[in-house]
């Protein structure tokens, strides 16, 4: 793997780590909706880092299958909230927003933590990150 791609992966993981820490702090301070937003940005940057590994020669079939299953599980958990947002958009038109309460925000935080650590583990196995 070339040095530029490795730096890009490290940069994406640093962004993901920063977003995850900020999501935890926002949740601790009672700002639940912004904490979910930060958690989603964490998941986004972690996913970008994982997909930047495409073309790595040492990638094993099991590692790729594990990562795809984890991404599928995370995406499947988003579906109820995306459907809720779509219904609100139909009802309220442009002024649509989704308010997260403590339990929903905590669930999203736990799911993001699981996804983030799975990506870190994936990167360690594939590119010895």
Query: pLDDT-based confidence at 25, cuts 50/70/90?
Result: very high
Query: pLDDT-based confidence at 40, cuts 50/70/90?
Result: confident
- Indicate the number of domains in the chain: 1
Which tens digit of pLDDT belongs to each residue from 49-69? Answer: 888 887 654 555 566 566 666
CATH number for the domain that contains residue 104: 1.20.120
Pick the closest to residue 112 from 48, 50, 36 (CA basis): 36
Domain coverage including residue 29: 3-127
Query: pLDDT-based confidence at 81, cuts 50/70/90?
Result: low
- Cα gap 4→111, rounded to integer Å: 30
Task: Find the mean pLDDT for residues 86-94.
Answer: 61
Is the CB of residue 10 less than 8 Å from the CB of residue 40? no
């Amino acid at each position: 793997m070339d040095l530029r791609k490795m730096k890009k992966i490290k940069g994406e993981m640093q962004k993901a780590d920063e977003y995850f820490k900020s999501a935890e702090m926002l949740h601790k301070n009672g700002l639940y909706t912004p904490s979910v937003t930060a958690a989603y940005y964490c998941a986004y940057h972690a996913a970008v880092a994982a997909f930047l590994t495409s073309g790595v020669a040492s990638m094993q079939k099991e590692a790729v299958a594990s990562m795809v299953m984890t991404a599928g599980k995370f995406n499947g958990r988003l579906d109820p909230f995306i459907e809720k947002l779509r219904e609100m958009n139909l009802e309220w038109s442009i002024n649509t927003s989704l308010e997260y309460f403590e339990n929903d925000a905590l669930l999203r935080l736990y799911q993001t933590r699981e996804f983030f650590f799975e990506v870190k583990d994936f990167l360690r196995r594939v590119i010895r990150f």
